[in-house]
Amino acid sequence: MFKSVLVANRGEIACRVFRTARRMGLRTIAVYSEADAGAPHVQEADEAVLIGPAPARESYLDAKKVLAAAKQTGAEAIHPGYGFLSENAEFAEAVTAAGLVWIGPPPAAIRAMGLKDAAKKLMQDAGVPVTPGYMGEDQSEARLAKEAAATGFPVLIKAVAGGGGKGMKRVDDASDFADALNSAKREAKAAFGDDRVLIEKYVTRPRHIEVQVFGDTLGNVVHLYERDCSLQRRHQKVIEEAPAPGMDAATREAVTSAAIRAAKAVDYVGAGTVEFIADASEGLKADRIWFMEMNTRLQVEHPVTETVTGQDLVEWQLRVAAGEALPLAQEHIGLTGWAMEARLYAEDPAKGFLPSIGPLDHFRLPEDMVRVDTGVEEGGEVSQFYDPMIAKLIASGDTREDAALVLAAACREVEVWPVRTNAAFLARCLEHPDFLSGEVDTGFIPARQDALVSATPSADAFVAALALAAEDAAAALGLPSESDRLSPWQATPDGLYGFRLNAEPSTHHRVEVAGETVTGGARPLVEGEWRWLVEHDGRFEEASIQFEQVLVGERRALSFVRSEDGVVLFDDGAAIEVRESEIAGASAGSAAVSDGSIRSPMPGKIVAVQVAAGQSVEKGRPLVVLEAMKMEHALAAPFDGVVAELNAKVGDQVVDGAVLVKVEAAG
């Protein structure tokens, strides 16, 4: 066994590899960009090397800099994590040429599976069923459009390189094909340096089933059962689980056997995932599952497999890379209970899931309820340069429902500010009756998005906000409290102030909760205590304030923190701003405001401009396309009108809040 390992990656996967490496007595080495100088993975490593500026192409994707760091620190092995250089065959060859141990599959296997069209042809030869479509060399728009029509709409355009939903577009009608193709090619070129695509038949009720495989240098290949990754948004996985719901023994045998055939066809070594698409219109059936692609690396969702099998997959990787045999034979790999993983993203569901960047002034995750894999911490920052996933929450249970409800409860405990997250959205997905009954497919989220993305605060949030307003009014009048702590809106020891609601403590109060004006009465229940009887919407509720929580009746407690403009309540995973209604207004990061200004929701690059000045546009029409955080974001017209200003052109780098287009209302 080698004595040291460098992780050529960042964030939670670097921290994850370090955890196992330390347990095995290995020296750990991190690389980092200027943007990650204070990141947890840097702090956790025994040694760390700065390799360049924030942009990934100048740091984490620069193979020469990574190898120089390995030489500088005396690293004996390199683990690539996932993303970045993990599926780069040239980098794998350079690692071994430098006399280092590559903790990954052979370069030949990476190449064989790295291009989806070539991989599908290889799988056909190996007897693995594949989805119908076009995988030819002719990449002209005319040929691709012809093949899409021959395959039959709907079709899926997919980049032949890479993964993660980038360069992937569903097309339902021939009239939309050209725009979708151009967008897919742009994304693929930006993400992978290769804009070639293939065409696949789109299964109308698909499920995403994948099998974890492992091979060693002695020719042994095993599987560690399947995962279901069907809950997706824009082809990016949101919630994963193991095992797959509705998987019977015959179907499991068919899909795992196919996965092993796929791995053996390329002499696979190390951890890999063989991904399949299943037609779930009549449940999972052995003859209705087709090969999609193979990811030649450890997957983001590997913790659910670790949970149900009781194995440490990173340890398996390290041992196999050192030349050892697989730790277990197939007959000794068990499957126990259920596990689910939720990906916590820095994004705002209420704004079309736009990524949210900035400082993590408040960051609390429910580590006592679930396993948490994260690469950020309070006081850190979510950068525009990297993927917006900030943590993975993994729950387990004896049954699927047990695991789902534990994970939902954990998502509801998430507290993050001022960066927005999808925590409340995740909880709604997990608790949805259709999800709990196992009615899942890749269209689950789009079909229910309005309900899952509900931005309406709960009645408890309104009660809590009015109680906090009443507390502040009481404090302003000098009424005593049962503690010496400050009101969230009172003066702080350094003299800073929040806003004040200087009303009589027994009168009505008016505040703004998540943009909605709320009025209600509040009077003290017991003199000298922070307990209030709150009147809201014709009902009376008791609320008490204890340090950083508002207790609403005997039902539940809502945490809160101070913000620059007032208070932020945490309500079932959602962060809700509470402010004086008079000073409330549109947030600086909104894509469109009432005057028709279309603003950049984050820093990024303009990759398409689809209108001209003076052009008439209808509500919802895409105007410009912004590339940020590895994805494209189309900004649309807020209402019918005319393009009065156009301040964007292709190639522009724009800042957060920049006015890109201004639309004037028609008539």
Active site residue 186: no
Q: What is the pLDDT of residue 507?
A: 56
Looking at the domain assignment, is residue 636 inside a domain?
yes
Where does the pLDDT of residue 553 fall: very low under 50, low under 70, confident under 90, or very high at 90 and above? confident
Identify the residue with better confidence: 124 or 58: 58
Asked whether residue 210 falls in the same domain as residue 197, the answer is: no
pLDDT number for residue 176: 95
Cis peptide upstream of residue 433 (ω within 30 degrees of 0): no
Give residue 528's pLDDT band: very low, low, confident or very high (50, 70, 90): low
Same domain, 386 and 494: no
Catalytic annotation, pick one of 227, 252, 288, 297: 297
CA distances to 4, 186, 298, 645 from 191, rounded to whole Å, are: 31, 9, 19, 31
Q: What's the pLDDT score for residue 536? A: 83
Amino acid at 210: E
**Which residue, 98, 106, 81, 330, is CA-closest to 217?**
106
Instruction: Give the dihedral sign, CA 466/472/478/482.
Output: positive
519 lies in some domain: yes
Q: What is the residue whose two structure tokens read 């620059």?
A: 564
589 within some domain? no
Average pLDDT of the chain to the nearest whole number: 88
Altogether, the residues listed in the chain come to a count of 667
Residues in a beta bridge with 338: 397
Percentage of the chain modeled with pLDDT above 90: 66
Beta strands in 514-617 (DSSP E): 516-524, 531-536, 539-546, 549-552, 556-562, 567-571, 574-580, 597-599, 604-609, 616-617
Considering only 111-120, 412-421, 503-512, which range has the smallest mean pLDDT? Answer: 503-512
511: pLDDT confidence band, cut at 50, 70 and 90? confident
* CA dihedral for 484, 487, 490, 495, sign (positive or negative): positive
Structure tokens at 320: 């196999």
And the tokens for 41?
A: 């993975």
Asked whether residue 411 falls in the same domain as residue 436, the answer is yes
Model confidence at 488: pLDDT above 50:
no
pLDDT value for 633: 77
Instruction: Look up tokens 């964030």; give the residue.
Output: 11
Mean pLDDT of 616-645: 84
Residue 587 confidence (pLDDT) above 50: no
Tokens representing 243 are 């095992």
Same domain for 331 and 303: yes
Give residue-wise pLDDT tens across range 342-392.
999 999 998 889 899 999 999 999 989 999 999 999 999 999 899 999 999
- Clarify whether residues 307 and 432 are in a common domain: yes
Phi, psi of 566 (to 5 degrees): 165, -115
pLDDT tens digit sequence for 396-442: 999 999 999 999 999 999 999 999 999 999 999 999 999 999 999 99
**Whether residues 226 and 321 fall in one domain:** yes
Q: What is the CA radius of gyration of the chain?
A: 27
DSSP per-residue string spanning 100-153: -EE-S--HHHHHHHHSHHHHHHHHHHTT--B--EE--S---HHHHHHHHHHH-S
Looking up residue 484, the CATH number of its domain turns out to be 3.30.700
Statement to judge: residues 499 and 638 lie in one domain: no
* Residues 464 and 439 placed together within one structural domain of the fold: no
In a domain, 125, yes or no: no
Question: Does one domain contain both 507 and 437?
Answer: no
Question: What separation, in Å, do the N-terminal and C-terminal C-alpha atoms of the chain show?
Answer: 75
pTM above 0.75, yes or no: yes
Same domain as 213, residue 77:
no
Domains contained in the chain, number: 5
Domain limits at 603?
597-665
Whether 249 and 312 map to the same domain: the answer is yes
Domain containing residue 357: CATH number: 3.30.470.20
Least confident of 36-50, 135-149, 233-247, 505-519: 505-519
If pLDDT is split at 50, 70 and 90, which confidence band does 594 have? low
Please tell me the predicted confidence (pLDDT) of residue 580: 67
pLDDT range class, residue 630, cuts 50, 70, 90: low
